[in-house]
Amino acid sequence: MKRVLLLASVLLLLVGCTSKPIYNVDNAAVVTGAGAAPSQADVRRAIVEAAASKGWTVKDIDPTHLQATHVARKHMAQVVIEYSTSSYSITYEDSLKLKYNGTTIHRNYNRWIRNLEHRIRQRLAAL
Assess if residue 36 is contained within a domain. yes
What CATH number has the domain bearing residue 90?
Answer: 3.30.310.80
Domain membership of residue 52 as a residue range = 19-125
Residue 4 pLDDT: 52
Assess if residue 28 is contained within a domain. yes
Assess if residue 41 is contained within a domain. yes
Assess if residue 6 is contained within a domain. no
Residue 18 pLDDT: 79
Assess if residue 55 is contained within a domain. yes
33: Cβ contacts below 8 Å, ≥ 6 apart: 125, 126, 127
Within the chain, residue ranges assigned H as helices are: 2-16, 40-53, 107-125
Block means of pLDDT (10 residues each) for the chain, length 127 residues? 52 60 97 93 98 98 98 97 98 97 95 98 97
**Total structural domains in the chain?**
1
Q: Is 30 helix (H, G, I), strand (E, B) or coil?
A: coil
Phi, psi of 103 (to 5 degrees): -135, -30
Assess if residue 101 is contained within a domain. yes
pTM over 0.95: no
